Amino acid sequence: MNPAHYTIGLDAGTNSTGFTLFDENNTLIEFGVDMFPMGNKEEKNVESSRNAERRGYRGARRNRFRYHLRRTQLQKILKSL
């Protein structure tokens, strides 16, 4: 008994993924699409990116790290004088 040979086609997009399934005679067996929800959220009638809050916190961490790095470097320079 020979196993059936299938061909699958995949389409990965930014807002959806799609697929098709063909048999060995190139007959379409099944197809489908999965749509992703929009990347925005709405709170208090203001649209914002779902990532905006996280990005803000990340920026604050970087600024704090750079501030402490500048202080440490300044202390090293002043100690060497």
pLDDT tens for residues 11-64?
Answer: 998 888 999 999 988 899 999 999 877 666 777 776 677 788 889 999 999 999
The SS3 call for residue 13 is coil
| Domain match, 29 and 56 both | no
pLDDT band at 7 (very low <50, low <70, confident <90, very high): very high
In a domain, 66, yes or no: yes
In a domain, 42, yes or no: no
In a domain, 67, yes or no: yes
Range of the domain at 75: 51-81
CB neighbours of residue 60 within 10 Å: 10
Q: In this predicted model, which residue has the larger pLDDT, 4 or 13?
A: 13
What sign results for the dihedral spanned by CA atoms 40, 41, 47, 51? Answer: negative
First-residue to last-residue Cα distance in the chain = 85
Say how many domains are in the chain: 2
pLDDT band at 2 (very low <50, low <70, confident <90, very high): low
In a domain, 43, yes or no: no
